[in-house]
Each structure stands twice: as C-alpha cells, then as structure tokens.
C-alpha cells in the first residue's frame, strides 16, 4: 500500500501537472495571432497531453445556417483527421454524435462510436479507423459554441480523468473561442472578412454613442527586443546622461499631452499626469536605472531591468488599481525606450473619427489623440472606476471597457459603434445597424436640443409636485456652467475621486481648498458631500488593500472608522470649507450597524468642537446616511432618530440585495435595479421613512433613468440625484407625469415577476 503522505504528493503532482498544462495552453492560445492559429494550438496540445489519436474542434457557424435556418457546426481544426476536411465537414445540431453533444450540451464518451445510433460517417475525415470517442461541448454564457472531440483507435472509453480534463480545457478556452467567433473566425476558411455583428458586451465606462474607426494602440517597441549591452566604466556617465535626457524629453511630451487637453480638464484630472511625472522622478525608478547603468549596462538594458521588475511587482498585486499601475510603468518605460533608441517609431495617425482601442487604454494614450478627433474609447481590460473611465466621463467621450471578447488582433481600422450607455461595442456594423444608430444619435441630438428648452422650466409634475433634481459629481469638469445652473444642488459629491488621482492622502488644507471650491460654486444650494468611500473596486494607489471579497470587506465607513486620523481630517476639512457658507451636508456611506453611525457622529462632534475652539466655526451641517446595505434598511427608525436624511444608494443596494457584483461582466445580466425585490425594498424604505418623518432621496443610477425615476416618483421620492447628463431627460419625464398616476401603478408593478416585466410595463406607462 502507498503510504498516505506519498499518495498525497502523487495527487499533488498530478494536480500541478494539469494546472501547468492548462496555464501554458491558455497563455499560448492568448498569444495566437488569429483564430486558426489558436485552434491549431488547442488541438495539437490537447491531443499530445491526452495521448489521443485525434483531437478536433467543431464550431458553431450561425452565419451559414442550414436550409431550415438552423445553426450548423463546422469542423474548424484537427490534429489527426485529414487536414483537407477542415472547413468542409458540416453537421446540424443533433446530427451525428458531435451534433448530439452540441444539442444535449453534455459530454458523450463512447468505446465504439460506430455502434452509436447517431453515428454518421464522413469519409473525407479519414476517421474510419477511430473507435473510442469523447466529445465535450464548448459553452460560453450558457450558449453552445462548439464541440471539442478526442478520438482513439483503441476500442475503449476515455477514463474519467481524461473526460474531466477535456471539460476543463473546453471551459477555460471559451473566452478565446468566443472572441474568435466574434471576429469571424468560425468560417475563417470560407470568408475571412466577414465579421459577426452581434454586440460585444463590456462595462459602460462613460455614457454616449460614438461611431468611428478603430485605432488600435499597441506598444511600438517592446522590451523583448532590447539586448543588454555591457559598457566600460568610462561610458557609464555618458549612458546615465542619455537616460536623464530621455526622462526630460518624456516629461516634455507629457506636458504637451496635458496641454492638448487644456481647458477640458480641471485640476484633479491633471493629477494623473503628475503621477506619471512622479514615477519618472521617483527614487525607486530613476535612481534604480542609474544604479543599473553604474553596474556596466547600457541605458536601454538598464531601463529594461527596472521596468520589468516594477511591472512584475505591480502585476502580481491583487488590487485592481495597483495592477493597472503596471500598465502605466510599462507605458512610461516604452516612451523612454523610444527616446533612447535612435530609430523613433513612426507617429501614430488618428483619423477624424478615432475610436481608441487597446488592451488597456492608459490616460497617456488617451491624451495623445487630438481631442477633437477622439470619438470613443474601447478596451479589452479595465473597469468602470479606472482612470480611463474617470477621464472619459470628464471629457464626455463614450467609453466601453472590459470587453473581454474584443478580438484585438483584428480590430485595427475597423468601423465600430461604441454604445457607452449600454456598455456595448459593435464591430463592422451593417448598413442597417449604422442607420439605426444614426437615427438614435439624431434622436438624442434632437432630444438634447429640445431638452435645452426645458432648462428654463422647473421640475414640477403635471399635478404640481416639485421634484428636486440634484447632481452627482466628484470631478468639477463634469459640470458645465449651464447644467450647474439647472440643478437644485449636489446630491452626491463623491470625495474619493480627489483621493484617487493623487499619490498620497490629501492633507487637511488641500481638502479644504477642493471642498470649498465646490461649496462656493453651488452656494447657496446644498452640497451633499459623502465621506471617503474607498475599498470595493475603488482602491487608492498609495493604500493597497488585498482582500478576497473587497465588496464585502474593508469599504466606506468601515475603513474610515478604522482610520480616525484620515476620517477626522476629512470631516475637519469639510467643516472648515463650510465656514461662512453653510450649504454643506455630510453623508456617511456603507452604514450597516447603528454603532458605525454612532461612532461616526462622535468623530463629527469632536471635529465640530475642535473647530469651534480653534477657529470659531459654528455651522453644523445636516447629517445623512446612505441606505445601500440591506441591513440598514431594517434599522430605519433608529437611523431616523440619529440622522437628518437618508439617501438611497441604489447601485450598491442592488448589488448587495441580489448578491451580484456590479462590475462583473460575467453576471451583469443579473444586475438590475428594477428586480422586483429591489422595488419591494424601495417601497419598504419609503414607507418607513414616511413613518419616521425623515427626508429621503435616491442617488444611485436609478435616479437618472427616466423610466426608473417615474417609479421612484410613485413611491413618493421627490429628491433625485444623478449624473448631470441625465438631468434634462428626467426633468422632461417629470413635467410630463403626474405623481398621482405613478402612485396608482405601484401596486401593479409590485405584483410583477421580473425586472423585464417591470421595465416593459414602465416603458408602456411612463413618459420617457
Ligand atoms: C450607490 O451605491 O448607489 C452610490 C450612489 O454610491 P457609489 O455608486 O459611489 O457606490
Ligand atoms: Mg455606493
């Protein structure tokens, strides 16, 4: 008998081998230049790993349906069958064993395929000699994309390990295959130029619709090609000087880029460039390269060493924000390399209707495009809270980020539609789709200009109810003067933005300056400032947090209460900024226990007392609580005893109620604020708030969606805080609605079964 410990290590060994295989095949597939290459890698590697006699992939080809209009499977790659059969063998769903695997969406493992009633023989494949058959479906987002097949001459079943490994490989490769499908790879042999028109889904990074041509930005140079040249001692000084010159040149370029954006951005945004400059001047970068040169390596090689080690260190960090800093370092490194190499790469050209596309769009890439030419932004990775998203929103450029199916190697110069409202990208749109989008754009423009007229009228319903329309902000650049004058104040000032674009916690005085500017800008209208809500997906570059479940972890008030020094500085800054103005309201995020609220109030009172003594500041702002964690919903009467108002954060409330990560594209179809449970909870909150007599508003995205806002109106909510771009449409809805009508439909809506049904009914009855 094998002793227990050695059995364990045997299992570990197998486990490690399998993981190694999976990792390496995925890496190879991701590096493939096109789908044919990717599929070839899959079949040859899998065949070898599982010692099969043949491995083949059949993919769905829904552009060439059968005569009944049903999708067909086409043999797309093989190692073991006759190569000329690729692109020739076609099967309907349910036809042959492969078709059966696709139809049932489950594996089939046979000792002798020919004996199966569904067996159908394709002589062109030369498969007569094979008996053992294992086919597993390739499934992406519940849809069968194809079938991965192993065959062997031996007349026996594949064992369970082989079967589970094949299932794992198929599951792991769906992303790559789905993106291949998107780029027309399925019928690549038949028609390389045809590209699927179905939308690719990503995260809506910045609203709006753009139509244009993709400009794929890839690093012109890579560090892979940099050879390390050793230098004699007497050249060290020369190389070090070369590096200094290159750094200065890159800094000049950054200044130039910044001035390209001049007037488009305010102070906070410029801090992004400042961060780049800080890296360039920082000891851990500049000095380390100089040190490497001093060891006898020419500047490019020294640069490569330092950049590579920085990039590795950042890339391995769990924190999304810090991981994305690796991209910044690499970007900067390549800029320096370009300066150090005598043959400068040709300058990228940007057409008039540029859609900037990259694996990750960095702030610097974005700034390099002449701003008038930049119509849209699309990235394969990246999240809604990335710098790019912040910048894109500030510049008013539609952006869709995190489009994991984006076939990067094929998109350059393609026509594209970027729908930043829905978080969708359409490649090579058909004439019809372009027409529809053009109509949509026209409609939007017409609506926008029709809505201009609405600015002069108040937000009052047909039955005379005044609705307060407030702005959500965090970057001043988001608010144009005209829009600013249309709001009843700021309903949510997200203070984390000024924290995120810096390289350290901003000091009390600095915060006073930032907050005072906002308070003055809106005075005498109220400005609701939320205390720092970092954590979750909003990390600070200078305060890494590594957590398994960041959205359920150290976030919002939990963090600030654990760091009273940071919390107090912020509260003190807010109170000082409010001195003599009095339009500040303070809002606490992520409250889930009464103790958190009590502790926060203790700190607020402490700050008030200190400032009264130190500076004679006597203004005491109203205090509010965000209702965004389900536990807070059931504490409303007690919250009402302690606070002046509540603000419903429908974004997080939806996330926590439905247990759906609001940023995860994989489950984004489940994330819907019109889910019946969310509506029931909103009803409960508004009823409780009425009983307790506490003011209630909504500051999540729901408030800015006219259809959802109609429902909120029916629940009695007359304070809505939204992105300024939604103001006019919501005002139009309000002016064309009566609160009585919206109230009447609530019971009916509460009886509906799904978000889709609720939306459908709202679309029928609400003006939008
Ligand atoms: C919310 O959760 O609805 C909200 C307004 O806060 P944030 O989107 O900043 O989490
Ligand atoms: Mg929130």
The 10s digit of each residue's pLDDT in 490-527 is 999 989 877 876 667 889 999 999 999 899 989 999 99
Please tell me the number of the ligand nearest to residue 496's CA.
1
| Side-chain half-sphere exposure of 199, counting CA atoms within 13 A | 17
- pLDDT of 184 above 70: no
Where would I find the H helices in 487-593? 496-500, 508-522, 557-562, 564-577
**CA angle at 420 for the pair 415 and 424, rounded to the nearest 5°:** 60
Cβ-based neighbours of 197, under 8 Å, separated by 6 or more: 426, 427, 428, 429, 430, 433
Q: Where are the alpha helices (DSSP H) in 352-430?
A: 363-368, 387-395, 408-411
Q: How many of the other CB atoms lie within 10 Å of CB of 95?
A: 17
Radius of gyration, CA atoms only, the chain: 30
Q: Which two tokens stand for residue 278?
A: 């800080």
What's the 650 CA to ligand 1 centre distance in angstroms? 7
Q: What is the DSSP letter of 726?
A: G
Find the catalytic residue in 140, 201, 310, 387. 387
Measured CA to CA, the distance from residue 323 to residue 509 in angstroms comes to: 30
**Is 55 a catalytic site residue?**
no
Q: What is the pLDDT, as a whole number, of residue 725?
A: 74
Nearest ligand by distance to the CA of 701: 1
Task: Please state, in angstroms and rounded to a whole number, the distance separating the CA atoms of residues 467 and 461.
Answer: 8
Q: Decide if pLDDT at 141 tops 80.
A: no
Asked whether 496 lines ligand 1 (CB < 6 A), one says no
Q: Whose CA is nearest to atom 10 of ligand 1?
A: 652
**Which of the residue ranges 25-39, 85-99, 118-132 would you say has the lowest mean pLDDT?**
25-39
* Position in ligand 1 atom list of the atom nearest CA 699: 5
Distance 505 CA to ligand 2 centre (A): 21
Contact 203, 422 (CB under 8 A): no
> Is 680 known to be catalytic?
no
Beta strands across the sheet bearing 424-427: 200-201, 424-427, 415-419, 209-216, 354-358, 374-379, 399-401, 203-206
Residue list, CB under 5 A from ion ligand 2: 628, 649, 652
Indicate whether residue 535 lines ligand 1 (CB < 6 A): no
* 674 vs 397, more confident: 674
607 lines ligand 1 (CB under 6 A): no
Task: Please write the tens of the pLDDT for every residue from 552-592.
Answer: 999 999 999 999 999 999 999 999 999 999 999 999 999 99
Distance 723 CA to ligand 1 centre (A): 12
Domain over 200-217+350-429 is classified CATH 3.50.30.10? yes
Tens of pLDDT, residues 619-630: 999 999 999 999
Residues of the chain with CATH 1.10.274.10: 223-340
Helix or strand run (H / E) with residue 77:
strand 72-79
Q: How far apart are CA 696 and CA 18, in angstroms?
A: 55
Considering every ligand atom shown, identify the ligand nearest to the alpha carbon of residue 491 and give its number.
1
Q: CATH number of the domain at 13-184, out of 2.40.37.10, 3.30.565.10, 3.30.450.40, 1.10.3720.10? A: 3.30.450.40
Whether 494 lines ligand 1, by a CB cut-off of 6 Å, is: yes
- The rounded distance, in Å, linking the Cα atoms of 213 and 211 is 7
Dihedral, CA atoms, 79, 80, 83, 89, nearest 10 degrees?
Answer: -100
Lowest-pLDDT range, 70-79, 285-294, 314-323, 441-450? 314-323
Q: What architecture (CATH level 2) is domain 461-765?
A: Alpha-Beta Barrel (3.20)
Range list for CATH 3.50.30.10 in the chain = 200-217+350-429
CA distance 299 to 244: 10
Residue 4, pLDDT score: 43
Write the DSSP string, 293-316. HHTTB-HHHHHHHHHHHHHHHHHT
Atom of ligand 1 nearest to the CA of 650: 3
Inter-CA distances, 366 with 216, 447, 467, 681, Å: 12, 29, 38, 41
Question: pTM here?
Answer: 0.69
Distance (Å, rounded) from C-alpha 671 to C-alpha 710?
Answer: 20
Instruction: Give ranges for CATH 3.30.450.40 in the chain.
Output: 13-184
Give the residues across from 379 on adjacent strands: 358
pLDDT tens digit string along 469-489?
Answer: 999 887 654 555 666 778 999
**Residue 463 CB coordination number (10 Å):** 12
Q: Is the pLDDT of residue 142 over 50?
A: yes
User: Of these residues, 131, 140, 310, 699, which one is catalytic?
Assistant: 699
Q: Is the CB of 663 under 6 A from ligand 1?
A: no
CATH of segment(s) 223-340: 1.10.274.10
CATH 3.20.20.60 domain range(s) in the chain: 461-765
């Amino acid at each position: 008998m094998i002793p227990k410990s050695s059995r364990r290590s045997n299992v570990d060994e197998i486990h490690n081998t399998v993981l190694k295989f999976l990792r390496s095949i995925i890496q190879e597939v991701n590096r493939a230049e096109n789908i044919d290459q990717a599929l070839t890698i899959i079949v040859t590697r899998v065949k070898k790993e599982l010692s099969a006699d043949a491995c083949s992939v059949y993919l769905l080809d829904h552009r060439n349906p059968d005569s009944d209009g049903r999708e067909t499977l086409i043999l797309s790659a093989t190692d073991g069958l006759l190569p000329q059969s690729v692109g020739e063998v076609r099967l309907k769903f349910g036809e042959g064993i492969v078709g059966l695997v696709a139809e049932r969406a489950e594996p089939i493992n046979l000792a002798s395929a020919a004996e199966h009633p569904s067996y159908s023989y394709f002589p062109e494949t030369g498969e007569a000699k094979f008996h053992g058959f294992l086919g597993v479906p390739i499934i992406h987002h519940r849809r069968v994309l194809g079938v991965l097949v192993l065959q062997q001459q031996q007349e026996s079943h594949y064992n369970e390990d082989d079967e589970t490994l094949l299932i794992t490989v198929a599951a792991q490769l769906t992303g790559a295959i789905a993106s291949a499908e998107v780029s027309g790879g399925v019928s690549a042999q038949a028609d390389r130029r045809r590209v699927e028109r179905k939308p690719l889904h990503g995260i809506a990074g910045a609203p709006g619709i753009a139509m244009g041509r993709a400009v794929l930005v890839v690093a012109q140079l890579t560090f892979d090609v940099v050879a390390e040249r050793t230098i004699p001692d007497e050249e060290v000084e020369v190389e070090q000087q070369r590096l200094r010159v290159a750094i200065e040149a890159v800094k000049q370029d950054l200044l130039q880029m910044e001035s390209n954006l001049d007037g488009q951005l305010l102070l906070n945004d410029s801090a992004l460039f400042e961060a780049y400059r800080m890296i360039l001047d920082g000891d851990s970068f500049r000095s380390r390269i100089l040190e490497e040169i001093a060891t006898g390596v020419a500047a490019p090689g020294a640069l490569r060493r330092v950049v590579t080690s920085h990039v590795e260190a950042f890339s391995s960090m769990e924190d999304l924000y810090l991981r994305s800093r690796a991209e910044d370092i690499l970007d900067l490194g390549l800029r320096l390399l370009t300066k150090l190499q005598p043959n400068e790469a040709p300058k990228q050209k940007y057409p008039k209707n540029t859609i900037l596309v990259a694996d990750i769009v960095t702030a610097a890439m974005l700034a390099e495009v002449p701003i008038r030419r930049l119509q849209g932004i699309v990235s394969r990775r990246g999240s809604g809270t990335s710098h790019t998203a912040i910048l894109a929103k500030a510049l008013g450029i539609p952006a869709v980020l995190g489009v994991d199916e984006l076939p990067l190697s094929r998109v350059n110069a393609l026509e594209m539609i970027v729908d930043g409202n829905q978080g969708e990208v359409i490649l090579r749109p058909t004439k019809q789709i372009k027409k529809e989008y053009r109509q949509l754009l026209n409609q939007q423009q017409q609506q926008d200009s029709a809505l201009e007229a609405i600015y002069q009228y108040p937000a009052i319903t047909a039955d005379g109810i005044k609705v307060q329309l407030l702005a959500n902000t965090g970057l001043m650049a988001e608010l144009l003067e005209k829009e600013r004058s249309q709001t009843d104040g700021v309903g949510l000032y997200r203070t984390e933005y000024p924290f995120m674009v810096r390289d350290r916690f901003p000091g009390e005085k600095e915060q006073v300056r930032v907050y005072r500017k906002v308070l003055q800008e809106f005075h005498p209208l109220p400005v609701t400032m939320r205390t720092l809500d970092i954590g979750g997906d909003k990390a600070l570059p200078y305060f890494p947090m590594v957590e398994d479940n960041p959205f359920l972890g150290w976030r919002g008030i939990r963090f600030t209460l654990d760091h009273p020094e940071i919390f107090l500085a912020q509260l003190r800054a807010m109170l000082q900024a409010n001195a003599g103005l009095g339009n500040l309201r303070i809002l606490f995020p992520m409250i889930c226990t009464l103790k958190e609220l009590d502790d926060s109030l203790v700190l607020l009172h402490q700050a008030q007392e200190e400032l009264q003594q130190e500076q004679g500041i006597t203004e005491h702002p109203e205090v509010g609580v965000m209702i965004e964690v389900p536990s807070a919903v059931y504490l409303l009467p007690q919250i009402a005893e302690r606070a002046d108002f509540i603000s419903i954060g429908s974004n997080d409330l939806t996330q926590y109620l439905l247990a759906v990560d609001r940023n995860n594209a994989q489950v984004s179809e489940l994330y819907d604020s019109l889910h019946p449970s969310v509506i029931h909870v909103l009803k409960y909150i508004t009823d409780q708030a009425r009983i307790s007599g506490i003011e209630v508003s909504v500051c999540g995205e729901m408030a800015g969606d006219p259809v959802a806002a109609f429902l909120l109106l029916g629940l009695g909510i007359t304070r809505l805080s939204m992105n300024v771009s939604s103001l006019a449409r919501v005002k139009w809805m309000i002016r064309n609605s009566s609160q009585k009508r919206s109230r009447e439909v609530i019971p009916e809506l509460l009886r509906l079964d799904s978000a889709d049904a609720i939306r459908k009914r709202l679309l029928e009855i609400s003006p939008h």
